Amino acid sequence: MPLKLLDVGSGGGFPAIPLLIVRPDIRGWLVEATGKKARFLQSVVEALDLTAQVVNARFPAPQMKSAAPFDLLTSRAVAEAGALVRAGRPYLRRGARCPSLDERTAAPGNPKRAPESRVFDSTGPPARNCGE
């Protein structure tokens, strides 16, 4: 059974679109509230023949219940990562992974801190830093 990705606030498609390009075995649900952005995402999904469904709705969308549970939860700049995981927990499979790029550490002009990717487990607090 393929992995299922839930991308909240998909916007321009990052990180979901690149992930779906390199991992065609993943089925994606891209949730975007802004109609113009959702139409853009739909055109990209169709043009690249990706295994994804674009949902033009606010998170959580009623349509998500029929697609749940998800194995992966991604987002970029929608909410604090912990709050997003808590809101997404009802739609996630037990042990789902929630990779999140912490943009505060990746900010330009911050030479002391490198970009940090945190992995959250849907069953609890931050699990570990990626690459450890």
Q: Which two tokens stand for residue 86?
A: 């808590």
Query: Is residue 43 in a domain?
Result: yes
Report whether the peptide linkage leading into residue 99 is cis, meaning its omega lies within 30 degrees of zero: no
What's the CATH number where 34 sits? Answer: 3.40.50.150
Please indicate, yes or no, if residue 102 is contained in any of the structural domains. no
Q: Does residue 10 fall inside a structural domain?
A: yes
Q: Does residue 54 lie within any of the structural domains? A: yes
- Please check the confidence at residue 128 and state whether its pLDDT lies above 90: no
59 is a domain residue: yes
Across 50-59, 75-84, 122-131, least confident range: 122-131
Quote the domain boundaries for residue 30: 4-94
Mean pLDDT value of segment 117-128: 44
23 exposure class (CB count in 10 Å sphere: 0-12, 13-18, 19+): middle
Average pLDDT over every residue of 64-92: 81
Q: Is the pLDDT of residue 34 over 70?
A: yes
Q: Does residue 75 lie within any of the structural domains?
A: yes
Whole-prediction pTM value? 0.75
CB of 32 within 8 A of CB of 54? yes
If one counts every other C-beta atom within 10 angstroms of the C-beta of residue 18, the result is: 10
Number of compact structural domains in the chain: 1
CA distance 37 to 30: 11
